[in-house]
Amino acid sequence: MPRSKEGYVLTPWEVSGDIDYDDLVDRFGTSRIDNDLKKRIEKLAGDVHFMLRRNIFYSHRDMKWILDEYEKGNKFALYTGRGPSGHTHVGHLMPWIFAKWVQDKFGVDLYFQLTDDEKYLFNFDLEMEDTHSYALENALDIIALGFDPAKTHIFIDTDYIHTLYPLALKVAKRVNFSTVKAVFGFDNSTNVGSIFYTSMQSAPCFLPSDREGKKVPVVIPCGIDQDAHFRVTRDVAETIGYYKPALLHNKLAPSLDGTGKMSASIPKTTIFTTDSPEDVEKKVSESFTGGRISAQEQREKGGEPDICAVQNYRYYLFEPDDAKVRSIADRCRSGDLLCGECKGMLKENIKSFLKDHQERREKARSSLEDFLLKD
């Protein structure tokens, strides 16, 4: 299991401590998204998404090959997913927002997996009805982002198992217990469903090829914590007659208390897409900042935007304009901007985002069937 000297832990199921993203690139053997790759993407897309510009998407596998193929007229498909263990929080939206941008710019299909099976298997306190109903709720958040229904295919594992199972079996036959033990830290007490699970998350990598009747390159935008699954997938892909999936990895969204990753299990420091304006007020008010003990001290010494959760939220999600982010940081450092006013600005950003999102989310209930793949 990736447990570094620095003491952080990052697996698909556990993230804690101060994640060293550079270290992960070295340990996982991925590649950094360098300026050349960014420029190539920018040239083909016509612009560059702020998450690329800011190195929030910062690591990849095989993207150069994907762009070579695209330039030859061989389109890729996008694949990403979500484990429905609860309501969606705004950190989950990051790779989805980015996937939407890629879909719009490159005109490609998106396959979206909702792994109700995974969350049932890995959480003893969740029943199958729970994970299935969260899957439907999470699907509303995906649709609310404005994906094109003609090009977007969402599926819940247990409702699409007839199609997924043969693909999962092809993977499962070639992955042995010692591999998943080493990659995920499983042991003899791990339930057998969990041991099988990576085969299920691998299956959609091959779904576009089966549906189109030819080998289709696949790009997976996802949090770097998911890379472990796809290392396993990539090892078997070619032996079963498909391309290896390519990946675009994002850093994980920070929590509001300034420690590590936004986590659904700590609701106080996490903004959910279903939160009310009052929830947002309270959570942002109580969040960790780079402010000083007193207003007077802050006016004299200035604040520390680099360690501030409020500024981080802005940077990762809620303020795409670099100039605005910079000017807020400058005002903070100079002592001109105090935390109250600064939090107020973020609250307005989040509340207006959630107001629109929640409206679109309710409307999505009537268009769910246009998106869902079922057997």
Binding residues for ligand TRP (CB under 6 A): 12, 80-83, 113, 115, 118, 201, 220, 222, 226
CB of 243 to ligand TRP, least distance (A): 16
Number of helical H runs and strand E runs in the chain:
18, 9
* 112 contacts 95 by C-beta, under 8 angstroms: no
Closer of 222 and 328 to ligand TRP (Cβ): 222
What is the nearest approach in angstroms of ligand TRP to the Cβ of residue 310? Answer: 26
Q: Kindly report the length of the chain.
A: 375
In Å, how far are 4, 19, 280, 291, 299 from 333, measured between CA atoms? 33, 25, 25, 10, 9
- The rounded distance, in Å, linking the Cα atoms of 268 and 282 is 9
Please report which residue ranges of the chain form alpha helices under DSSP H: 21-28, 35-45, 50-53, 63-71, 90-106, 116-122, 128-144, 161-172, 177-184, 192-202, 207-212, 227-237, 277-285, 295-301, 309-313, 322-334, 339-364, 368-371
Q: Which is nearer to ligand TRP, 81 or 290 (CB)?
A: 81
Q: Which is nearer to ligand TRP, 36 or 125 (CB)?
A: 125
When the beta carbons of 82 and 234 are compared against ligand TRP, the nearer one is 82
Minimum CB separation from ligand TRP for residue 78, in Å?
10
Q: Which two tokens stand for residue 338?
A: 């105090």
Give the nearest distance from C-beta 245 to ligand TRP in angstroms.
Answer: 9
Q: Is the separation of the CB atoms in 261 and 275 below 8 Å?
A: no
Least Å distance, CB 293 to ligand TRP, is 39
User: Taking the complex as a whole, how short is the minimal distance between the CB of residue 284 and ligand TRP, in angstroms?
Assistant: 25
Residue number with the smallest Cβ distance to ligand TRP:
81
Q: Which two tokens stand for residue 357?
A: 């999102």
Q: Residue 83 or residue 291: which is nearer to ligand TRP going by CB?
A: 83
- Identify which of residues 2 and 335 has a Cβ nearer to ligand TRP in the complex: 2
